[in-house]
Amino acid sequence: MEKDFTMFGPWQKAMALAIKIHRVTREFPKEEMYGVTSQLRRAILSVAANIAEGFGRYTYADKMHKYVQARGELTEVMSFLYYCRGVDYLTSEQHDDLLQDCREVQRLVNSLITKMDQLNKAQ
C-alpha cells in the first residue's frame, strides 16, 4: 500500500485532470470567471481532495464516505462539461478528451469503492 496520498493512483489521475481542466478553463469567457469556470474548477479539485482525505482516514466508514463523495463530485464535473460543450466553451475534441479522463477517474474510484466494500464484508 502507498505510504502517501500523492503516490495513490486515483489521486494522481484526479489531480492531473484538475490541472488539465484549470488550463482549459483559462480560455472560457471572462464573464464566467465566477460562474461555471469557478464551479468546474472547485468541483474537480474537490474530487482529488476527497480522494486524498479518504486515503488519510482510518475507519472504513470514513474512507468510504469520502470516496463516495469524490464519485458524486466527479459526476458534477461531467455535467458541467456537457454544459460547456453545449454553449461552445469547449470544442468537441476537448470535451471528448476531458470526458475520457473523467471516465478513467470514475473507473478508479468505483474500483476503490468496490474493493473497500469487499474488504469490509470479508471482516
Give pLDDT tens digits for 13-34: 999 999 999 999 999 999 999 9
Q: Answer yes or no: is 74 within a domain.
A: yes
Give the domain range for residue 71. Answer: 8-118
Domain count, the chain: 1
**Three-class secondary structure of residue 100 per DSSP:** helix
Indicate the burial class of 83 (C-beta count within 10 angstroms; 0-12, 13-18, 19 or more).
Answer: middle
What is the full DSSP assignment across 60-96? Answer: HHHHHHHHHHHHHHHHHHHHHHHHHHHTTSS-HHHHH
pLDDT tens, 32-73?
A: 999 999 999 999 999 999 999 999 998 889 999 999 999 999
Q: Is residue 1 part of a domain?
A: no
